[in-house]
Amino acid sequence: MIRETLKGGKGEVIKNPKVFIDPLSVFKEIPFREDILRDAAIAIRYFVKNEVKFSNLFLGLTGTGKTFVSKYIYNEIEEVKNEDEEYKDVKQAYVNCREVGGTPQAVLSSLAGKLTGFSVPKHGINLGEYIDKIKNGTRNIKAIIYLDEVDTLVKRRGGDIVLYQLLRSDANISVIMISNDINVRDYMEPRVLSSLGPSVIFKPYDAEQLKFILSKYAEYGLIKGTYDDEILGYIAAISAKEHGDARKAVNLLFRAAQLASGGGMIKKEHVDKAIVDYEQERLIEAVKALPFHYKLALRSLIESEDVMSAHKMYTDLCNKFKQKPLSYRRFSDIISELDMFGIVKIRIVNRGRAGGVKKYALVEDKEKVLRALNETFEDSISIGDFDDVGEN
Ligand SMILES: Nc1ncnc2c1ncn2[C@@H]1O[C@H](COP(=O)(O)OP(=O)(O)OP(=O)(O)O)[C@@H](O)[C@H]1O
């Protein structure tokens, strides 16, 4: 039964999945980012050949190609090392600040490790020592540092000073910083800001640009004749509505192609199903990322929309799991935050003079949220335990 699928015969849609999973291995150019790439290449050349240091801040909303462009530059520099002697002593280090933990220590130790080639402790030495290690390690080289999600570093205490020291150090270091928080500069001290180079703005893609980008993925990754212009336009239009997010557009095309697999043609219904799956995954991710008490609060709200009764249920749950319950007021704040995340919807009902106001919170998509909660609680709490508390 699975033989046709194993062989990828009749009705197959995807020619090369790698295009969607590791697009940099396929893309030789990055559409709509040519100007940014050219300017960066000039700055890098001045740095490598004329010792003019630079620092850039790549700013733009999610899915606008900032990381894609940075990794492309990184790879191209590695290639040029084989072609141009003057690039021989260039050393690059890419660090995602959030992934390494976001603290100045974590970021510096990761950087120092990558630049010196030695393992550097994450704790126990002070920031100045890390900077010295980096300076020593880069004495005879030219270092290009990429700090992705730099906003997580800058928001930590002392984070912006680390940047200042890196930028101002007498070592040969140039820096590309990446942030999808466009207000990241507001978190920096004036002296840090003044040593920072220009911001490079990544504008959201419009529907037409997204359609062109999708056509490239389709050309490289899909079998000819399994898609048409209309379907690419449909996906592009949907993704453009959400601030021109190329990640979403590419993801939807890949999912729709997988759903169409065996049928030989991507249709609108595949895209619609792909959207539902995509939104569901995003909701699940959001719920899973919530702190423990938020999850308990959400679990209580599934049983009772009335916030006051939900707090009682929440308190029971806390007792059951030997957690100290938060006050009603704090609980109510959590509910407001969940409302801001779009997971619940608050409704205030005024019951006249005597009754006062009553606060309700409706869980937007009960079934999905419950499923997400169950998944996240799988290890620690079984849903049976919840049912004891919730339904009795
Ligand atoms: N111009 C482009 N051409 C082809 N693919 C693109 C382009 N821009 C973005 N993409 C695709 O979108 C995905 C997301 O882009 P990228 O990771 O660069 O987003 P980002 O701007 O760094 O967003 P975030 O801030 O969320 O990390 C890339 O992996 C790539 O598949």
386 pLDDT tier (thresholds 50, 70, 90): very low
- Residue 28 within any structural domain of the chain: no
| CA proximity to 202, closest of 313, 328, 92, 64 | 64
* CATH number (domain holding residue 365): 1.10.10.10
Q: Is 344 helix (H, G, I), strand (E, B) or coil?
A: strand
Residue pLDDT, tens place only, 68-103: 999 999 999 999 999 999 999 999 999 999 999 889
Task: Tell me, in angstroms, the distance from the centre of ligand 1 to residue 96's CA.
Answer: 15
Q: What is the domain extent for residue 233? A: 3-18+205-286
Q: Residue 116: what pLDDT? A: 85
Query: Same structural domain for residues 209 and 87?
Result: no
Q: Are residues 107 and 45 part of one domain? A: yes
**DSSP class of 87:** G
Mean pLDDT lowest for which of 61-65, 111-115, 378-382?
A: 378-382
pLDDT score recorded for residue 383: 41
Place of tokens 């974590």: 106
67 annotated among ligand-binding-site residues = yes
Residue 224 included in any domain: yes
Question: What is the mean pLDDT of the segment spanning 42-46?
Answer: 97
Q: What is the pLDDT of residues 277-307, one digit of tens each?
A: 998 888 888 888 888 899 999 999 999 889 9
Q: What residues does ligand 1 touch, defined as CB less than 6 Å away?
A: 23, 27, 30-33, 60, 62-68, 180, 213, 246-247, 250
Using alpha carbons, select from 158, 142, 211, 202 the residue that is nearest to residue 177. Answer: 202
Residue 189 sits in a domain whose CATH number is 3.40.50.300
Q: What number of CA atoms fall less than 13 Å from residue 324's CA on the CB side?
A: 2
> Do 79 and 147 sit in the same domain of this protein?
yes
In this structure, is residue 23 part of a structural domain?
no
pTM: 0.82
Residue 231: which CATH number?
1.10.8.60
Confidence of residue 380 (pLDDT cuts 50, 70, 90): low
Residue 178: how many CB atoms within 10 A of its CB?
25
Listing DSSP states for 182-250 in one string gives TTGGGGS-HHHHHHS--EEEEPPP-HHHHHHHHHHHHHHHB-TTS--HHHHHHHHHHHHHTTT-HHHHH
64 and 120 housed in the same domain: yes
Give the domain-ending residue among 251, 286, 321.
286
Listed residue (142, 200, 208, 211) closest to 176, CA to CA = 200
The answer to whether residues 125 and 168 belong to one domain is yes
Centre of ligand 1 from the C-alpha of residue 250, in Å: 9
Q: Is 363 among the domain residues?
A: yes
**How many domains does the chain divide into?**
3
Q: C-alpha distances in angstroms, 50 versus 55, 86, 139, 172?
A: 15, 10, 16, 11
